[in-house]
Structure 1
Amino acid sequence: MNAKLTTLAMIAALFSVSSYASDPVTINVTGKVVASPCTLDTANSNLDIDLGTQQSTTLAAAGAILGTKAFNIALKDCPAGTTSVTANFSGTDDPSAAPGNGFKNAGTATNVTIQLKNANAGAWTDPYYTIKNGTGWNQAVNTSTNTVVYNLAARAYTPTGSVTPGTVSASIVVDFTYQ
């Protein structure tokens, strides 16, 4: 009889256990597929721009220019899935130039600004073609050669005149984003 009561107690316990359902849970799975990068074509890129030497007396007036040099940044071996590349330029703005219209000279010459622009278009004063801190320049990949070439020009410019003798130097970082 004791075994019967124990069995009945266990069966009653099983039926008296309530089952509760909780709220459903959502699992979020995310990821990102990005375009593969191109390779810097060092044979067709010039990353050291020498603007030459000029007497300070020729840079006495506002608007005077110390050299203008055209140069390229070339990318090669762009994978088939990469259709365009954006070059993002960053550096220190020169506060003496028109806002954002030049990079600060880190050399010892004073009253001089370093400017960049698209070498194939526009005037140095055209904000659409000048390159400043924060500028992004998007170009399509040439699908027949799997390359992208940025044709640029650099110059040293004095917005105020009265340039003192010394060196002209700026470091401008170019970061590439691939689409």
Structure 2
Amino acid sequence: MKWTHVGWLLAGLLTASASLRAADVTLTVNGKVVARPCTVSTVNATVELGDLYTFSLIGAGSASAWHSVALDLSNCPVGTSRVKATFSGTADNTGYYKNQGTAGNIQLELQNEDGTTLNNGSSQSVQVDEASQSARFPLQIRALSVNGGATQGTIQAVINVTYTYA
């Protein structure tokens, strides 16, 4: 074989190899490391306010007695240190939870044990007890007549709770 043929052969191979180069590839990997949830021990809670009298809810800002309720979580996995509860429900124009029963001029007020009001969209965080692997949200609720002039009827509200873990 003559050297001129070898030169042409090499030139052809180099040209072909340049066109056979692989394209660049970007591999993207996504994911999350999250805390495993606790077991929700208090799946549903009903608070009975009892019979309230209209004469005690006539004045603006008048309210019923507080009624306690606790939301409990158990079996929190090792490594879960905090639980955050976010409260949601139908709010009325006063910012409190709307009474969806038939009584007029009544709102529902939810507070934590420190007296902080937990209106629609509010959150509260508690520490998980490492020894018992549990968490507790002690709360209190009452009927309230922000503007006064409560009228007779039923009282009902639904407050949803969403938990997130850290």
Task: Give the whole-Å Cα distance in 1 for the aligned partners of 2:58 and 2:126.
Answer: 38
Q: Identify the residue that residue 92 of structure 1 maps to in structure 2.
A: 90
Query: How high is the TM-score relative to the length of structure 1?
Result: 0.81
Q: CA deviation at 1:24?
A: 2.6
Work out whether residues 59 and 163 of structure 1, in 8 Å CA contact, stay in contact via their aligned partners in 2: yes
Out of 102, 106, 109, the position equivalent to 1:112 is 106
> Retained in 2: the 8 A contact 1:105–1:168?
yes
Letter in 2 for 1:115: E
> Is it true that 1:28 corresponds to 2:28 in the alignment?
yes
Question: Residue 15 and residue 80 in structure 1: after superposition, are their counterparts in 2 closer, same or farther (change >3 A)?
Answer: closer
Report SS of the residue matched to 1:131: coil
2:136 equivalent among 130, 136, 149: 149
> For 1:76 and 1:152, how far apart are their aligned partners in 2?
17
Distance 2:14 2:58 in 1: 100
Question: Alignment partner of 2:56: what SS?
Answer: helix
Amino acid at match of 1:57: F
After TM superposition, give the deviation of residue 67 of structure 1 in Å.
3.2
| Segment of structure 1 superposing worse, 60-69 or 82-91 | 60-69
Distance 2:15 2:88 in 1: 71
Shift of 1:66: 2.4
- The corresponding residue for 1:159 is 146
For 2:25 and 2:123, the matched residues in 1 are separated by: 42
Which portions of structure 1, spanning 4 or more consecutive aligned residues, are displaced by more than 3 angstroms?
A: 11-16, 20-23
Contact 1:141 1:148 in 2 (8 A): yes
Matching of residues 9-158 of structure 1 within 5 Å:
14=13, 16-20=15-19, 21=21, 24-42=24-42, 47-95=45-93, 97=94, 100=95, 102-119=96-113, 121-122=114-115, 129-158=116-145
SS at match of 2:66: strand
Where structure 1 has 5 or more consecutive residues not aligned to the other structure, the ranges are 123-128
Q: How many residues align?
A: 160
Q: Once the two structures are superposed, what CA deviation does each residue of 1:102-128 show, in whole Å capped at 9, x if it has no partner?
A: 101100001010000012x13xxxxxx
Change in 2 beyond 3 A, CA 1:19/1:110? same
Q: Which runs of 5+ in 2 are unaligned?
A: none
Q: CA RMSD in A?
A: 2.3
Query: 1:46 Cα deviation (Å)?
Result: 6.8
